[in-house]
Amino acid sequence: MSMMDTKQLIEQTFQELAKDPTLLADISEAEREKFLDSAEEILTTTDKVIKSYIRVTRDNGSVIRIPAYRVQHSNVSGFYKGGIRFSENVNEDEVENLAFLMTLKNALHELPYGGAKGGVGIQPRDFSDRELYSISKKYVQRFSPDLGPTHDIPAPDVGTSARVMDWMVGEYKTIHPGDQYLNAFTGKSVENGGALGRREATGRGTFLSYFWLLNSWLDQKMSQSQEDLPKIMQHKQWNTLDELRQKHSASDPIDVAIQGFGNVGSVVAKEAFDASKINHRVIGVSDRYTTLYHPNGLNIPKLIQYTDKHIDLPKTEQDLLEAGIEATIYPPEDVLTLDAEVLFLAAIENQVHEGNMEDIKASILVEGANAPVNAQADKYLQDKGALVIPDILVNAGGVIVSYLEWKQAKITRIYSEKEVHEEMAKQLIQTYQKVYDAYFYGESQSMRKVCYTLALKRLITLLHRLGKLY
Ligand code: GLU
């Protein structure tokens, strides 16, 4: 989903919301129309885009300037919040779109945050630790007037980690002596005030979105008398779930493929590998260089051990031997079209598009990354009966745990890992329940649309209550 796709979907959602009498029910019809127009104008424009070039002296003595961004999309529902990514693909349009998605994500999950995103246009692998340290410090120096624990709170994203957040918070502390600093950044190392389980949070929440649907949600509906339930409206997708359930009842494992083996993908792989109750087989995983495939399932713990040491997945037969892994090596994009029933997209945006959508065999796609399926592919797959579980619903585990980390710094009590995980799961499941009910029993053809509708309803109501629509 590009910025244009997101805006188009928002426009359609606004048209449908205009027909919803429960929204802004306390005002007259004529006023309501005007208010909705104002809300659309406010929410489809960005509060602030900051672009700057950071000067870095490379290890060889040369000086370069790197584009860097912080985009604050909206603070209607709370302080700006969102990650900072280091990636060669970073550009203004992309960061703006990702900031918009953060606004929707935080509103959907009812977190007290608005949406923001940051980016630095580098491939972090091409830079030494000293250079990355310098870039992180410079980023904070440049953007610090616009950051802060009660204004805009960054976190890690693609290409950044707890280490970068620690460096950044260190610089923030130097620039703002005497101020609160621990909750100025989240996703820090545990030693430096980070929440236990923050690194795994996005991956765990992503797997849970799918597993809870197939296991708990479906059980809940099956055990209720069908007469008491509304009519199923999304038949094809319901049948998709039912087929998987039957496969499982016959004790056959469910085949899973995962694009990306970083913080999100490797955790999803481990969750699938370990899943009790329903047996899964991870038949394919990929990273930027390789897809590894085995029809009987890959040994995920061994692969994690290998990537902990080498970062990348095994690339050659020799590497496979060292890792003790049996697998066939394919090009990275092949992971998308493997014969899997469930495909987790845990890499970057725009991976499933017009060029490959017809070759996708999975009937459930889960967007662990932000915006991995483009609008055309989204529609095509859903018309075909596949279920696309959207990014802003599934990958919010990270920002939910960020919220706990931010709170933890204020109350100076460390949440245990169990508390963090339980709180995250509780909050996610509340939203999953709302969205899955509204989707399967509602008119909306896409789960993404259901999510946008719920998020926008919250944002519009807040805008109204805050007196911003007149
Ligand atoms: N970068 C993550 C996301 O896209 C986490 C953001 C945060 O924790 O603020 O949701």
In order of 191, 227, 426, the CA distances from 336 in angstroms are 38, 39, 31
Q: What is the pLDDT of residue 403?
A: 97
Q: Could you tell me if 181 and 211 lie in one domain?
A: no
Cα-to-centroid distance, 156 and ligand 1 (Å): 7
User: Could you tell me if residue 373 is inside a domain?
Assistant: yes
Per-residue pLDDT of 41-93, as tens digits, reads 999 999 999 999 999 999 999 999 999 999 999 999 999 999 999 999 999 99
The pLDDT score that the predictor gives to residue 404 is: 96
Domain span including residue 436: 199-395+430-454
Ligand 1 mean position, distance from CA 205 (Å): 12
Q: Which residue in this structure is represented by tokens 């109501």?
A: 461
Quickly tell me which residue has 């795994």 as its tokens: 200
Last residue of a domain, one of 167, 195, 223: 195
Q: Is 287 in the pocket of ligand 1 (CB under 6 A)?
A: no
Residue 400 domain flag = no
Query: 128 and 231: one domain?
Result: no
Identify the pLDDT of residue 82: 98
pLDDT at 278: 87
Burial class (CB in 10 A: 0-12, 13-18, 19+), 3: buried
Residue 159, domain CATH: 3.40.50.10860
> Measured from the CA of 98, which atom of ligand 1 is nearest?
4
Active-site hit among 81, 117, 137, 449: 117
- CATH number for the domain that contains residue 263: 3.40.50.720
- Going by the DSSP 8-state scheme, the letter that residue 180 receives in this structure is -
Residue bearing the CA closest to ligand 1, atom 8: 399
Specify whether the CB–CB gap between 254 and 281 falls below 8 A. Answer: yes
Is 333's pLDDT higher than 90?
Answer: yes
250 domain-assigned? yes
Measured from the CB, is residue 370 less than 6 Å from ligand 1? yes
Measured CA to CA, the distance from residue 459 to residue 115 in angstroms comes to 12
**Distance, CA 99 to ligand 1 centroid (Å)?**
10
* pLDDT grade for 196, boundaries at 50, 70 and 90: very high
Q: What is the pLDDT of residue 411?
A: 79
Percent of the chain with pLDDT over 90: 89
Residues 191 and 207 in one domain: no
150 plus 268 within the same structural domain: no
**Shared domain check, 332 and 320:** yes
- What's the maximum distance between 2 C-alpha atoms anywhere in the chain? 74
pLDDT in tens, 266-285: 999 999 999 988 899 999 99
pLDDT tens for residues 123-148?
A: 999 999 999 999 999 999 999 999 99
pLDDT score recorded for residue 283: 98
- Judge whether 375 lies within some domain: yes
Whole-number percent of the chain with pLDDT over 70: 100
120 and 224 together in one domain = no
Write out pLDDT tens, residues 338-360.
Answer: 999 999 999 999 999 999 999 99
Statement to judge: residues 204 and 191 lie in one domain: no
Q: Please enumerate in sequence order all residues whose Cβ is within 8 A of that of 34, keeping only pairs 6 or more positions apart, or say none.
A: 469, 470
Residues 204 and 109 in one domain: no
Amino acid 27 reads: I
Q: How far away, in angstroms, is 155 Cα from ligand 1 center?
A: 6
CA distance 23 to 37: 13
* 160 and 227 together in one domain: no
Secondary structure letter of residue 79 according to DSSP: B
Are residues 190 and 234 both part of a single domain?
no
Does the beta carbon of 157 sit less than 6 angstroms from any atom of ligand 1? yes
CB-based burial, 367-397: b 16+ in 10 Å, e otherwise: bbbbbbbbbebbebbbeeebbbbbbbbbbbb
Residues 176 and 295 in one domain: no
> What is the token pair recorded at 113?
């945050």
Domain limit, last residue, from 178, 195, 212: 195
Q: 444 — phi, psi (to 5°)?
A: -65, 130
Q: Which residue among 98, 102, 428 has the greatest number of ligand 1 atoms within 8 angstroms of its CB, and so is best to mutate? A: 102
Active site residue 247: no
pLDDT, tens digit, for every residue of 389-400?
999 999 999 999
106, part of any domain: yes
Query: How would you classify residue 111: left for phi > 0, otherwise alpha for psi between -120 and 50, otherwise beta?
Result: beta
pLDDT at 250 over 80: no
Contact 364, 330 (CB under 8 A): no
Q: What is the pLDDT of residue 308?
A: 95
Which residue has the least CA distance to atom 9 on ligand 1? Answer: 82
341 and 442 fall within a common domain = yes
Alpha carbons 93 and 105: distance in angstroms, whole number: 18
Q: What is the pLDDT of residue 249?
A: 76
Task: Please count the structural domains in the chain.
Answer: 2
Among 148, 178, 195, the domain boundary falls at 195
Interval 3-20 mean pLDDT:
92
Does the beta carbon of 256 sit less than 6 angstroms from any atom of ligand 1? no
Examine residue 244 and state whether it is found in any structural domain, yes or no: yes
* Separation CA 239–CA 122 (nearest Å): 44
Per-residue pLDDT, 227: 80
Q: Identify the band that residue 447 occupies on the pLDDT scale cut at 50, 70 and 90.
A: very high
Predicted confidence (pLDDT) at residue 225 exceeds the cutoff of 90: no
Average pLDDT over residues 167-173: 98
Average pLDDT score, the chain = 95
pLDDT of residue 228: 82
What's the CA gap between 460 and 133, in Å, rounded? 41
Q: Which atom of ligand 1 is nearest to the CA of 154?
A: 9
**Would 38 be classed as within a structural domain?**
no
**Residue 420 maps to a domain:** no
